[in-house]
Amino acid sequence: MDPIKNFLECDISAYSFEDKITYLNKVESFLSTQDKFYYQDNYSEINDSDYDKLKKHYMQVLQKYPFLIKESKYSESIGFMPSEKFSKVKHKIPMLSLSNIFDESDLDDFYEKIRKYLNLNLDSTLEIVSEPKIDGLSASLLYKGGVLTVGATRGDGTLGEDVTENIKTISNIPKIIESKDVPEILEVRGEIYMNKSDFINLNEKMLQNGKQTYVNPRNTASGSLRQIDPNITRSRKLNFFAYTLGEISNHNFKSHFEVISKFKEWGFAVNPYTKINRSKNELIESYSELDAIRSSLDYDIDGVVYKINSLHLQDRLGFISRSPRWAVAHKFEAEKANTKIIDIDIQVGRTGALTPVAKLEPINIGGVVVRNATLHNEDFISGIDSDGNQIRNGSDIRIGDTVEVIRSGDVIPKVIGVDISKRLPNSQKYEFPKLCPICNSPAIKEINASTGKSSSVRRCTGDFYCLSQELGRLEFFVSRDAMNIEGFGGKSMKLFYDKGFIKRPNDIFTLQSKQGLGLIDISSLDGWGSISMSKLFSSIDEKRQITLDRFIYSLGIRHIGINTAKIISQNLNSIGNLISLIDNLNSKYNSYLESFLENDGIGEVAIKSFLDFLSVGHNASVVKNLNDQLDILDFVIEQKLDSKLSGLSIVFTGKFDSMSRAEAKDKAERMGAKVLSSISNKTDLLVAGQVSGSKLTKAKDLDIKIIDENDWLNLLN
């Protein structure tokens, strides 16, 4: 029997939904087998024209029954598969970002932190690879059996967009890796970018056609990759540099440089300025060389990335929140220009901080028009830094002054200096408001309890009465690192807030039902229609499930960053326990405080801020209402299932030879333990290095199990 003829002649119109899926999957599995023969084994079982006929028929089926697209499991290795919109791809290994450094002293800190963490001598040699930081967008390419199967954007680091078909149009990305030594699963990560020359050509064409020009190569590359029609992506001539591994089924690479060399062998473009350095001076030299040739390159680079070469050391160093400890981006100096301050606006953020923003005479800095720049805080305007020392020789900044403004990449432009010689004779010192411009509550400078110094920042005391703080919290709640709800960008949240559609975070999750009941009408808002509205509803629905730590972080409580939120969640474990904490907070404030303080890595200021936030009735009800709307998942530490440490409370004391305390703590936590800072009868294990004092004595008194460094290393193995 001829399977192709069978497939082609089969009339599925009367099939049930399930049978249509079965039929579709059968065709797909047949096509996949043929692809594998053709691409991997260099052999064909059927002739090309039959293959093309079946492929065409398959596409027609999908066009006729678009609901089948979701059920489709097939993505051929070359060619084009229409996609209605991009589906999401979960990155098995999160795609992280890099922390930035700006000068030599930051570089010293980078070295010092690494040596301290790894417990290395100051004079030990570390191999560090330097490579340009390409100003594009990162992408992940997944190869199965050497065939490019999935291409995805970074997204929020965990979930990216499936842009496979568009990625396949990029000419310097291999669609198939011919080499015999390619692992079964291989994920190559790197940067997609547009050449400056192609960007200029594209803009010339836009001008000729009377169309608006694009702003910069990076944004254009990003927009080009997200086109529904891959032919548009193809016409934009994007390029790719491979720079790191993601998932891989098996390998025995020892160093990053080896990986890069292998990428090259497998047919990927790797950056030619990738180099191994053995000292800080060599790194600085590599940085200067790249800075010097920067403008002559045909692609934008905005700094140099330094990566520890040894993969074993990379593994030991691991990550801190969203960045690796083993790599850092040394940014180039940002571009600067001089302009005049027309006015100073005061903005109030979610934590009540009054931030002065200079309204500028518009100025073009490195191709971007800048109209606003931050003036940081009251002290900065007066010529004082956060330690109380003079800056700019003590010169203040006034409306009408000519100032120097700096802009770098995606950060907010900043005022960095003032040209006193151009000051107008009748100018007045800027009087910083003592009342919140939004709610009129007193704005005060807090005194730091430990240093006794007054803060540089003036804060509104209106808290929940202040609309700006409320709006700031809402904006934070939906932002990428928090709940990550797409669709509230730009001024949308303010619009919803001003209309009264959203006042508290929980209102976000009842928008759809209110719209359904006719209580609100989102589609009538400026810039909104039924399509954008239903898109918003589906992105809200996608985020109804969230882990406890991310939920706590999303509340936007002052001093509670993602790491602190994790430690709190590790202690609370479930949303149920958070709710009972709220209910018992009045009577048990101090005992909660004490028990949180037992954790390593969390301080009193943060915990008090957390508890104080929850003791306000308004906040407590927001948390409870959100709990009704959301599925808040228990905090689970990623742990080895068979770990001997999971669930144990551990205290470390003394010095270790093989690793720093920080590394020991991370290792214990990764294996499912809770690391406490002091011994109590809740402690299960004390790991005692050399010179252990009172903790050792106390552990002996309480009859707690004590082990030394050797036992600890055995436990880890």
Residues engaged in binding ligand IVH (CB under 6 A): 96-98, 131, 133-134, 138, 154, 191, 243-244, 305, 324, 327, 329
Q: 452 exposed, middle or buried (CB, 10 Å; 0-12, 13-18, 19+)? A: exposed
Residue 650 in 3-state DSSP?
A: strand
Q: Judge whether 95 and 140 are in contact, CB under 8 Å.
A: yes
Cβ nearer to ligand IVH, comparing 216 with 382:
216
Q: Compute the distance between CA of residue 148 and CA of residue 165 in angstroms, rounded to an integer.
A: 10
Cβ-closest position to ligand IVH: 138
> 275-298 burial by CB neighbour count: b if 16+ within 10 A, else e?
bebeeeeebbebbeebeeeeeeee
Provide, rounded to whole angstroms, the least separation between the CB of residue 610 and ligand IVH: 29
- Shortest approach of ligand IVH to residue 328 CB, angstroms? 10
Q: Which two tokens stand for residue 678?
A: 């002091």
In the complex, least distance from residue 243 CB atom to ligand IVH, rounded to whole angstroms: 4
Instruction: Please state the closest distance from residue 324 (CB atom) to ligand IVH, in A.
Output: 5
Exposure class string for 238-271: b at 16+ Cβ within 10 A, else e: bbbbbbbbbbbeeeeeebbbebbebbeebbbbbb
The nearest distance, CB 133 to ligand IVH, in angstroms, is: 4
Q: How far is the CB of 411 from ligand IVH (least distance, A)?
A: 12
What SS3 class is residue 651? Answer: strand
User: Residue 30 or 243: which CB sits closer to ligand IVH?
Assistant: 243
In whole angstroms, the minimum distance from the beta carbon of 94 to ligand IVH comes to: 9
Asked if residue 311 lies in contact with residue 256, where contact means CB atoms within 8 angstroms, the answer is: yes
* CB of 596 vs ligand IVH, minimal distance in Å: 31
**Residue 705 known to be catalytic:** no
Question: What's the min distance (Å) between Cβ of 209 and ligand IVH?
Answer: 31
Question: Alpha-carbon distance 611 to 153, whole Å?
Answer: 38
What string of H, E and C letters represents the secondary structure of 65-86?
CHHHHHHCCCCCCCCCCCCCCC
Q: How far apart are CA 303 and CA 466, in angstroms?
A: 40
SS3 206: helix
Q: How far is the CB of 140 from ligand IVH (least distance, A)?
A: 11
Q: CB-wise, 110 or 501, nearer to ligand IVH? A: 110
Say how far apart CA 438 and CA 347 lie, in whole Å.
Answer: 9
CB nearer ligand IVH, residue 271 or residue 441: 271
Assigned token pair, 248 = 């891989």
Nearer residue to ligand IVH within complex by CB, 94 or 654: 94
SS (H, E, C) 546-603: EEHHHHHHHCCCCCCCHHHHHHHHHHHCCHHHHHHHHHHHHHHHHHHHHHHHCECCCC
- Least Å distance between CB 130 and ligand IVH? 9
DSSP E strands in 367-485: the ranges are 368-374, 402-407, 414-419, 443-447, 454-460
The CA-based angle 330-331-337, given to 5 degrees, is 155
Shortest spacing between CB 542 and ligand IVH, in angstroms: 22
Q: What are the tokens at 509?
A: 């999750």
Backbone angle region of 484, left / alpha / beta, with phi > 0 → left and psi within -120 to 50 → alpha: left
For the four alpha carbons of 375, 381, 383 and 386, in that order, the dihedral sign comes to: negative
- Torsion-angle region of 415 (φ positive above 0: left; ψ -120 to 50: alpha; else: beta): beta
| 8 Å CB contact between 307 and 327 | yes
* Distance in Å, CB of 100 to ligand IVH, minimum: 8
Alpha carbon separation from 256 to 99, 262, 276, 306 (Å, rounded): 19, 10, 10, 11
Please report which residue ranges of 230-389 form alpha helices under DSSP H.
Answer: 230-235, 256-265, 280-293, 311-317, 378-382
Distance of CA 225 to the CA centre of its chain: 19
By C-alpha distance, which of 607, 595, 574, 601 is closest to 661? 601
Smaller CB separation from ligand IVH, 100 or 639: 100
Answer whether 233's CB lies under 8 Å from 227's CB: yes
Which of these is catalytic: 70, 73, 133, 695? 133
Residue 157 amino acid letter: G
Residues β-bridged to residue 305 = 131, 329
Strand partners, 276: 129
SS3 content of the chain, % helix, strand, coil (to 5): 40, 20, 35
Q: Give the nearer residue to ligand IVH in terms of CB position, either 98 or 358.
A: 98
Region for residue 214 given its phi and psi (left: phi exceeds 0; alpha: psi -120 to 50; beta: otherwise): beta
Residue type present at position 117: Y
Which residues belong to the active site? 133
